[in-house]
Amino acid sequence: MGVKGAPDPATAALAREAEGEVQKYAKLRSIYRLFDIQVDEEAGFVLLKEAGVKLEGKHLSRHLRDCKRAYLIAATLGFDMERRVNYLMQTRPALGVATDAMCTSALECGLDELCERLEGECGSKLKTRFSCGYGDFPLSAQKDMVNLLDTGRKIGVFLSESMMLAPQKSVTAVAGVTDRAEQIKGGCENCAKGDCAFRKENK
Amino acid sequence: MNFSDFIKDNIVILDGALGTQFQAKGMPAGKSPEYYNLEDPALVEGIHRGYIAAGSDVIYTNTFGANRVKLGSSEKVNSIVRAAVDIAKRAAGGKFTALDIGPTGALLEPLGSMTFEQAYDVFAEVIKAGSGADLIVIETMSDLAELRAALLAARENSSLPVMCSMTFEEGGRTFTGVSAEAFALAASPLADVIGVNCSLGPDKILPIMKRIASHTKKPLFIKANAGLPDADMHYSIGAERFAELYKDYLKMGVNILGGCCGTTPEYIEKIRAMCAGKTPKKRRVKVPAAVCSASQVVYLNRVRVIGERINPTGKKAMKEALIKGDMGYVAARAIEQVEAGADILDVNAGVPGIDEKATLCQMVKRIQAAAEAPLQIDCGKPEAIEAALRVTHGKAIVNSVNAEEGSLNSILPIAAKYGAAVVGLAVDERGIPCTVEGRLENARKIIRRAKALGIPESDIYIDCLTLTVSAEQNQALNTLEAMRRIKSEYDVHAVLGVSNISFGLPSRGAINSAFLTMAMQAGLDLPIINPNIPEMMTAVRAFNVLTCADKGCTEWVEKYAGASQPVAAEEVADKDIYYYISKGLPQAADLTREKLNTMQPLQVIDELLIPALNRVGENYEKGVIFLPQLISAAESAKLCFEEVKSRIKGGGIGKGDIVLATVFGDVHDIGKNIVKTVLENYGYNVIDLGKNVPPQAVVDAVKKGNIKLCGLSALMTTTVENMKKTIELLRAACPDCKIMVGGAVLTAEYARQIGADKYCKDAAASARYAEEVFANI
């Protein structure tokens, strides 16, 4: 919501109300699949072996350079949440924008929890999730992600011709499985997209 | 024997999963199995033969994803579908072949960006290519809009029987929110057989199937998954138990059985064996009277309110909105009425000189995106009614037919085709009969003719017509008596526009609510009223209490027991308008009213409200306040502007019209909506074209309103391309319109490249730019 520092009481109350909305209307659904991968950093792609699908992008291949396996992940908060946000935007816009922001955060938390679970499942660490649109990982790769995970049938996530996911609060991502003890850092400081509006300021 | 006859007296066995079989034979992940129809027809034929050998009466062609959206071209669709049908027919050996149609994978408006018409064309192409099959099956749908597009494409491009099924989650709703009941009500009129596929195992689907079964008279089918898969894609329910679970389905009269994900020929064999010697159980169902949207069913088991406000007749603002194409205004009226208690929304586009058909469709689409209430299409033109019913997702009401031959012959067949309920006006070419008997005769004629076309009595809503009591005082009781009698003769429902009763009298509200109460007592099921008038809704709610429809007076108490007030705002003395606006407090309006006693309205705007809003905007930019506070401030400023408007003759502040749109292909409109809220509260009149707006539609709106400022939003790089196209068209057609743009991926530089006049990084910047543009005009 753009809040920097501690919010005033009214904003804090609004955030609590938004949280209630998310708890009531969001239904987190996720799907994932583990692939053996081959990374070609030089050519700039990651090959999902069983599928014969190449995910293009120098940044992605650098990010996954020491991985042999990677999870494809998709998650969504569902259409009920989307309809509720639309409704609030018409009836109580302030709560609407707060809830919209809360959704984004809830979805990220849900994905964090999922990744923790997957770490338990595969017995290794996972790298930071990497999504279409990060660096030079093209939006068009959404099509393969959605197709390979069968998201329409499994969790109700659909892709438009312009590569947008519906519901709007949905995410697809690649999470590399790493055997190295220390994790390569993700986050803004390692992203090449310097013109991003959401880039966190350097402290 | 044809399929429709075959299913009447037989238990019919469908096939099992195709995908599971392909995977078992080594298909790589992510491959479209439809290509095997061309690359390896023997493989496909072998799988079909396996199911025929296991006992299937019907096999589905290998065409689930064979559509233009997934395969990329019409040529591919054509060759792949034709090949698939040939293969299936070769394998079938006289058994039935079903042309299998799955979802496109893209999503229709309003949730996605594909239009109904585009989806229709995609499906029509498949259906034409697959004309050699014995029947059509549309399956695994989760969006009612897409299902209806496929069903209509099947109905209108083929004479084959049509089965259709959706995939549900455990609570009995699809991913997009379609309830089992809404599916049954909306799909039954267009399909020959309806059912459930995929979803879950047979055990978990059973309660969902029961809900569907109680809402349709059509034959039913089930094609469940073999339970749930584990991480290695092993399914939880084995063949033996799967077949065992289907016994419950036979008991409830589901006589068409097959398998979806995870099932194999073994499952089909077991089902065949389980069914040996059994015959189908006849179903007897009384479908409850109801209408629905995709997600909401409204049962006519108590008084239901039809909101009348989306109608330009006698409403200047609505008329102007329709002329300008301001569907945002229409959507706001929809939400307002639902909030006030309307169950169903009447939609009327009757402005002389406008394209009623196109406008009505736009209104329906936009209202469905904003509100979940079912709709009543209020129009006398058959062509416009049909166009609107096509894009209405659920089961609607057609308002109306009358007892004239022309009306009966043109409108009833449309209602019958789409399965809509219909309002029958008890009037004919001679006008409104002044006797009870005259009205009854007209009503009976309508009922007879509607039933002959298969419209059940419970879907016929008779309107016995309200006349103005000041002109014809004795007619009020005649209306009520006619209503009472027609309901005692038939199982029909009664609908009535109420407000006309008091025309020309003082204190109209009292007459209206008294008449409404009398009418409800006489059997009125569906009052058409303005739900924003508290007395009217109070009368309805009180009636529900007194007739036990509101059990335990729960709703009444909830509504009127004085819901807890929000914590009182801190008491402050001598605060200025800026203080109240910046805190988002409604007291801003009180203070505005006070100021208007000593200041001119425009002076209040220029000297108090705009500077206050500017200060709020500056604080937002500095990060002193945040987005929700900016929006709250805008909301409270809106109340102030309304106060000012009430003092200005004609109500217009006249700061100027601004067109806003989220560009074609883009459905992320939250940013645009924020800008709209803020601009409106600066006193501009915003014509909100919504999201996914084609470039030409933006140009049309700008031209029509002679607009000087147009704002466009786009979220992603993929849709900025459409923003550029829109700007190009605008420049050519409307050179003196300024264009401001915004959205997550845009920058000032990018905005310049695509030819915009101004990049606005947020709503406050948009408001500032608007001030600049309109100051120079």
- The pLDDT score that the predictor gives to residue B249 is 98
Write down the architecture of domain B3-275 according to CATH.
Alpha-Beta Barrel (3.20)
Q: What is the average pLDDT score of chain A?
A: 87
CATH number of B577-647: 1.10.1240
DSSP 8-state assignment for residue B429: T
Cα B152 vs. chain centroid, distance in angstroms?
Answer: 16
Higher pLDDT, A193 or B752: B752
pLDDT at position A21 over 50: yes
Q: Which residue has the tokens 């009543």?
A: B376
Counting one residue from A and one from B, how many pairs have CB atoms under 8 Å apart? Answer: 145
Contact B436, B411 (CB under 8 A): no
Q: Show residues of chain B in contact with A121, CB under 8 Å.
A: 231
Residue of chain B minimizing CA distance to A118:
B231
Which among B753, B634, B769 is positioned nearest to B711, based on CA atoms?
A: B769
Nearest-angstrom CA–CA distance, B455 and B189:
10
Using DSSP, state whether A135 is helix, strand or coil: coil
CB within 8 Å: A147 and B30: yes
Task: Measure in Å the smallest separation between the Cα of B370 and chain A Cα atoms.
Answer: 7
Separation CA B750–CA A195 (nearest Å): 11
Chain A residues in contact with B177 by the CB 8 A cut-off are 79-80, 83
- % of residues, chain A, pLDDT over 70: 86
pLDDT digits (tens, 9 = 90+) for A120-134: 988 899 999 999 988
Q: Which H or E run contains B58?
A: strand B58-60
Q: What is the ipTM of this complex?
A: 0.85
If you measure CA to CA, which chain B residue comes closest to A160? Answer: B106
Closest alpha carbon to A32 in A111, A127, A108, A124: A111
DSSP type of residue A90? H
Its pTM stands at 0.87
A96 interface with B at CB cutoff 8 Å: yes
Pairwise CB contact (< 8 Å): A161 & B113: yes
Tell which A residues from 66 to 95 touch B, by Cβ distance under 8 Å.
Answer: 78-80, 82-83, 85-87, 89-91, 93-95
Going by the DSSP 8-state scheme, the letter that residue A190 receives in this structure is: G
Average pLDDT over residues A52-64: 92
Place B270 in a pLDDT band, splitting at 50, 70 and 90: very high
CA B182, CA B532: separation in Å to the nearest integer?
27
Domain boundaries, chain A: 9-178
B158-203 per-position pLDDT tens digit = 999 999 999 999 999 999 999 999 999 999 999 999 999 999 999 9
Helices (H), B231-344: 239-245, 247-251, 265-275, 316-324, 327-340
Chain B CB contacts of A158 under 8 Å are 105-107, 111-112
> What pLDDT was estimated at residue A197?
54
| pLDDT score recorded for residue B567 | 44
CATH code of domain A9-178:
3.40.109.40
CB proximity list for B515: less than 8 A, separation 6 or greater: B466, B469, B476, B498, B501, B502
What single-letter amino acid sits at B191?
A: A
Q: Does A9 touch chain B (CB under 8 A)?
A: no
pLDDT in tens, B400-429: 999 999 999 999 999 999 999 999 999 999
Please name the member of A90, A121, A168 whose beta carbon is closest to the beta carbon of B668. Answer: A168
**Can you give the pLDDT at residue B565?**
47
Domain ranges of chain B: 3-275, 290-303+352-358+373-557, 577-647, 657-775
pLDDT greater at residue B527 or residue B233:
B527
- Residue A44, classed as helix, strand or coil, is coil
**Cβ–Cβ contact A118 with B under 8 A:** no
- From A150's Cα to the closest Cα of chain B, the distance in A is 9
Is it the case that residue B651 has pLDDT exceeding 70? no
* pLDDT tens-digit series, residues B528-552: 999 999 999 999 999 999 999 999 9
Distance from CA of B112 to the nearest CA of A (A): 6
Residues in Cβ contact with B83 at an 8 Å cutoff, skipping those fewer than 6 apart: B37, B38, B41
The nearest alpha carbon in chain B to A25 belongs to B177
Q: Closest residue of B to A147, CA-based?
A: B30
Residues 6+ apart with CB under 8 A from B151: B138, B162, B164, B187, B190, B191
Fold match flag (B290-303+352-358+373-557 vs B657-775): no
B762: confidence class by pLDDT, cuts 50, 70, 90:
confident
Structural contact between residues B288 and B252, judged by C-beta atoms closer than 8 angstroms: no
From CA B607, how far away is CA A5, in angstroms rounded? Answer: 33
Minimum distance, in Å, between the CA of residue B631 and any CA atom of chain A? 5
Q: Which of B105, B113, B747 sits opposite A162 (nearest CB)?
A: B113
Residue range B621-643, pLDDT digits in tens: 777 777 878 888 888 888 888 88
State residue B571's pLDDT score.
Answer: 47
- Integer Cα distance of B576 and A173 in angstroms: 50
Residues on chain B touching A3 (C-beta within 8 angstroms): 626
Q: Which of A115-119, A127-131, A199-203 has the lowest mean pLDDT?
A: A199-203
Residue type, B463: D
Q: Do B177 and A90 touch (CB under 8 A)?
A: no
CATH among 3.40.50.280, 3.40.50.720, 3.40.1440.10, 3.30.160.270 for B657-775: 3.40.50.280
Superfamily of structural domain B290-303+352-358+373-557: Dihydropteroate synthase-like (3.20.20.20)
